[in-house]
Structure 1
Amino acid sequence: MTTSTPGRVLLVARRPGAYQTIGDALAEAPDGAVITIAGGEYAETVELTRLRVTLAAVEGATVVVDGRGADRPVFRTTGGALVLKGIEILAGGASAIQADDTELAVRRCTVSGGRGPAVAIRGTTAFTLSGCVISAAEQGILVDGAPGRIEDTTVEDVMGDGITLGQGADPVVTGCTVTGCGLRGVYVYQYARPVIEDCVISHTGHEGIAVAHHGSPVLERCSITDTRSSGISFASGCGGEISACRVGNTAEPAIAIAEGATPTIAEAKDPGGSGDAALDEMLAELDAMIGLPGVKEEVRALVDELQVNEWRRRAGLPIGAAGHHLIFAGAPGTGKTTVARIYGKLLKALGVLPIGQFREVSRRDLVGQYIGHTAEKTATVFEEAKGGVLFIDEAYTLSRLAGSGGDFGQEAIDTLVPLMEEHRDEVAVIVAGYTGEMVDFLNANPGLASRFGKTIEFENYSPGELLAIFGRMASAGDYELDPGAAPVLTEHFRLVAGEVNFGNARDARRLFEKVRKAQSQRLRLLGRMPAVEELRGLHVADVEAAIAR
């Protein structure tokens, strides 16, 4: 009687009695087989469907699978399971490894060359890449949808992105090195939720880590250096967490967080209890903003004073009473709201405020419909803001000089003044508006001006800074702006800067949306589905058409 042994072992070698090629062995391999491969070069490609198999180099042997003469993946697998161990893979006109809904494990393999991603993993089946080196490819690793792990792996010298994680993928990327990428080191997009920890990312043509299209990664203990764009960027609508990451020698800003993005910068573990790491991360978020050198200097000066006060308190030394209320004066679109949010986080990191939450209100949130109603509404809003920042935008509309309904607005001001004094250690009130109008606001109550410790002026953005803001919007949306558009945009921003209702970054945002619409109209006229490069490209003609509207 004969019995079958599970996990049959087949040998591929250039000698009698062995399979001469990997393909020959696979043709006779049962499910669960282990194919060991002797040292040598094997010029072939492999395609598997619903087969569970292991391909492993003989211990100590150099096995090269050369697919450079083909326009298909070197290893392509659908369903089943594939384990690759200790193999060098040379790709040609396609990926080195393409796995769809496969239990893929790639260990101690070297992958180079190929078009598109060197390793492409799609589906919902878990995978593992461990101890691999991927180089000289158009792209490094692509993961769409799949969970799994990428560990102790190096991606280097690729023309495009190093690691791309999309379609809701949530792998753990740990202990990896990504360097020498023409585009981004790591690109997280389309609702991906990876954990990226203890990774070193450097020498990238764009961002070290870029997050777009509702991505929400957790970034822990990563080092991002020597990038031509920002070290880390979050586009609008994205979330996640940055914890104990080091970002250095990158383009400004080091950490770029677009309006509408909601990542948290968590406190790093600080055995000494000083909170310096958390504070540095908050200041890095401030530095991520384009321009505003005077504002950044003023905020840093406030932080320095508050930090020293905290040190004196711990040392048992006296400190003066310090309120945290501020006036942000300047035109719309100059970053006042964003800086106010960061200020709240800074106060929390310093231990000054317990929560650091941000509550933004305007006249309609404070002013009621009859005498007495306003005081109630204002007191309720103030109570809800305790422990954080109460940001009152266009605060000058509350003063009598602002026009109709001024008496009710005055009631809001008169209610705020004693509350700001009584609870000066529990809340930071920031009022914002045009510089001239804020003077009228402060004159609306004799005690109002004394409640604010400082006025910070927000200057208009320069044409060059607006160009940078526009470029960041394009990058966040995964668009590629034609370099020839830069002088056209700069001249446009120079002209509109003198207009009465100039909106700074708001105008840049409106123009960007018009450019996108102009591109859409141009592409619709092609009469075919555009290529990816065409979908990403914003031409000079698109910019000119948008400006002309």
Structure 2
Amino acid sequence: MAQTLSVSPRQPGALPTIKDALEVADDDAVITIAPGTYNETVLLQGRRLSLVAGGEPGSVIITSETPGQATITCRDSQITLQGLTVRAGDAPAVASMRGRLRIRQCEASARFAAAISVSDGAVIEATEVRVTGGQYGILIEDSGGSLDRCEIRDVGEDGLIVRLGADPTIRDTVITGSGYRGVYVYQGARPTLEHCEVAESGDIGIAIAHQSAPTLRSCQIVGAGGVGITVGRGCRGLIEGCTVEKCAAPGIQVDEGAAPQIVEARGGTVGPRSVDAKPDGAGQQDPERVERLLAQLDAMVGLAGVKEEVRALIDEIQVNEWRRDAGLAVGAVSHHLIFTGAPGTGKTTVARIYGELLKALGVLPGGKFKEVARRDLVGQYIGHTAEKTNAVFEEALGGVLFIDEAYTLSRSSGGGADFGREAIDTLVKLMEDHRDAIAVIVAGYTGEMLEFLDANAGLASRFAKTLEFANYSPDELVLIVNRIAHGDDYLLAAGLDDALREWFGQVERDQNFGNAREARRLLESMRKAQSGRLRKLGRVPDRDDLRTLVLDDLLGATR
């Protein structure tokens, strides 16, 4: 008979923590956890046991903020999780490597990682599992198993990721509100999706790439911001009886060199083709998407002041829409903004989110984002500048026109006639004439942007507000390095965070300091240093060697 252990910090005779129970549990033990919140990091190495909620599903919350470490890690184990809510910070809530994970009636979320990560040949059996919020939903790589009646909702980027030859079966699962792709299948993956719904993804509903060959049967893709299904070059697979509604045209996009079999819902087999779909109507509000975009903004590192200002702008727009619907007077509102600050502080990313927010509020119909610089606006002869500026402006109508290093328009090129000021004068008129059809955002260094605004008497009055993007602190830069590394399948060795923090603390942070770009450049240099170190090992490095960056790599990068 299987051993049964009870965990409760209050019940007499029970073990006070999950860790205590694991220390005395035999193989095949069932650990029943009393309702409550447990701040623990659970590591299961070579174990065979069950962790079960002692109350209703969701009554037990296991949470951990240990940097780079999943809340529950299952390695070479046979584990059952039932009725638990698991939360994490910058690592997965649940991670399974090799072995088998049975997870039933659980909830999982991670702020800056996949909520559930399955890798290295593991097998997952997930039933009625719910993933909400965070950066990614479920990641399955080089693994198999099944997801049955699961739900992935409101994640910042991709909802379900299947890669590296993984071949799970996903049935009756709903993936809705993904900030980027609903489902991303790539690197030779071969999943089967049956009777699944992929709804309201920010971009493509289901994206298939890199020699993958999935099977999609009776799936419904609804309301994607981009195309419903894309099949990339070299991909195959079967798309049978699927419907695509309210997505960008074409509903199903098959690239040249792709060869999927596409079967009509009624059973007639046809070749690669496009399925027409209706785009989202302009002027319609989407409150759920507004909240998802604001959550995506909140997930960015730092920028507390910027986030507060953007929320205030969105609140004002929303209230004005309510007043208009109630038949009350609404004053004219400009959506044009000035972003000031050093490079690499997230100005372009925030501008994109702002444009998407205006679209979700029904203010801008297209939500298109067009980024330009001086060369895109300024011509070489009289009349050419106005022509170029008008063309760029018309292309961006219905969305956001983002002008980076806008102050360069107010500076002479030193070559005789300079047409930068002509571009500014043209923009001033266009911004007034089309104030309700576009958001113009100008960006650059703080001091230089004051010079830019003085170039035309009416320019400053066209902008609703100035948002100042401050330099990132050393702690924030370390977090950025960790996020970039994690996204590229790298890990930072113990103690490396402290060394990075010390390095960023001593770097001169003038207006040329690159912030996030500096963090990315440093990480790239560390990768190069790691490559040199691994080449000298005298053996083929294992998976951990390839993924882990150590102090010597930082020293090599900064020497």
TM-score calculated relative to the size of structure 2: 0.57
Which is higher, the Rg of structure 1 or of structure 2? 1
Whether 1:382 aligns to 2:342 is no
Q: Aligned to 2:76, which of 99, 116, 120? A: 116
Whether 1:186 aligns to 2:127 is no
2:418 aligned counterpart, secondary structure: helix
Q: CA deviation at 1:154?
A: 6.4
Q: Aligned to 2:128, which of 140, 150, 175? A: 175
8 Å Cα contact 1:175-1:199 kept in structure 2: yes
How many Å separate the matches in 2 of 1:114 and 1:293?
36
Whether 1:347 aligns to 2:358 is yes
How many Å separate the matches in 2 of 1:385 and 1:443?
25
How many Å separate the matches in 2 of 1:374 and 1:190?
54
8 Å Cα contact 1:140-1:155 kept in structure 2: no
Q: Aligned to 1:533, which of 524, 544, 550? A: 544
Partner of 1:489: 500
Partner of 1:7: none
Q: CA offsets, 1:294-332, max 9 Å, x none?
A: 000000000010000000000010100111000001110
8 Å Cα contact 1:219-1:243 kept in structure 2: no
How many Å separate the matches in 2 of 1:212 and 1:497?
42
Partner of 1:522: 533
1:541 aligned counterpart, secondary structure: helix
Partner of 2:314: 303
Aligned length in residues: 381
8 Å Cα contact 2:334-2:435 kept in structure 1: yes
Give the alignment of 1:74-473 within 5 angstroms. 116=76, 140=96, 162-164=116-118, 175-176=128-129, 186-188=138-140, 198-199=150-151, 220=175, 243=200, 275-400=286-411, 407-473=418-484
Q: CA offsets, 1:38-60, max 9 Å, x none?
A: xx99xxxxxxxxxxxxxxxxxxx
How many Å separate the matches in 2 of 1:343 and 1:328?
12
Residues 1:161 and 1:363: Cα distance change in structure 2 (over 3 Å): closer
2:175 is aligned with what amino acid?
Answer: E
Q: CA offsets, 1:366-402, max 9 Å, x none?
A: 1112121111111000000000000000000011357
Residues 1:401 and 1:140: Cα distance change in structure 2 (over 3 Å): same
Partner of 1:65: none
TM-score calculated relative to the size of structure 1: 0.58
Residues 1:197 and 1:420: Cα distance change in structure 2 (over 3 Å): farther
2:421 aligned counterpart, secondary structure: helix
Residues 1:219 and 1:416: Cα distance change in structure 2 (over 3 Å): farther
Identical amino acids, percent of aligned pairs = 53
Whether 1:478 aligns to 2:459 is no
8 Å Cα contact 1:367-1:409 kept in structure 2: yes
How many Å separate the matches in 1 of 2:340 and 2:177?
37
Residues 1:222 and 1:501: Cα distance change in structure 2 (over 3 Å): closer
Residues 1:420 and 1:155: Cα distance change in structure 2 (over 3 Å): closer
- Unaligned segments of structure 2, at least 5 residues: 3-26, 28-43, 50-72, 85-93, 109-113, 188-196, 203-223, 229-245, 247-279
Residues 1:441 and 1:115: Cα distance change in structure 2 (over 3 Å): closer
1:391 aligned counterpart, secondary structure: strand
Residues 1:377 and 1:457: Cα distance change in structure 2 (over 3 Å): same
Of 395-404 and 283-292, the range deviating more from structure 2: 395-404
How many Å separate the matches in 2 of 1:370 and 1:341?
32
Of 409-418 and 308-317, the range deviating more from structure 2: 409-418
Partner of 2:60: none
2:340 aligned counterpart, secondary structure: strand
1:321 aligned counterpart, secondary structure: coil
1:164 is aligned with what amino acid?
Answer: V
Q: CA deviation at 1:507?
A: 0.5
8 Å Cα contact 2:106-2:128 kept in structure 1: no
Q: CA deviation at 1:164?
A: 2.3
1:116 aligned counterpart, secondary structure: strand
How many Å separate the matches in 1 of 2:177 and 2:289?
15
- Unaligned segments of structure 1, at least 5 residues: 1-39, 42-67, 69-90, 97-112, 120-130, 144-149, 202-206, 224-231, 246-262
Whether 1:501 aligns to 2:512 is yes
How many Å separate the matches in 1 of 2:163 and 2:346?
23
2:419 aligned counterpart, secondary structure: helix
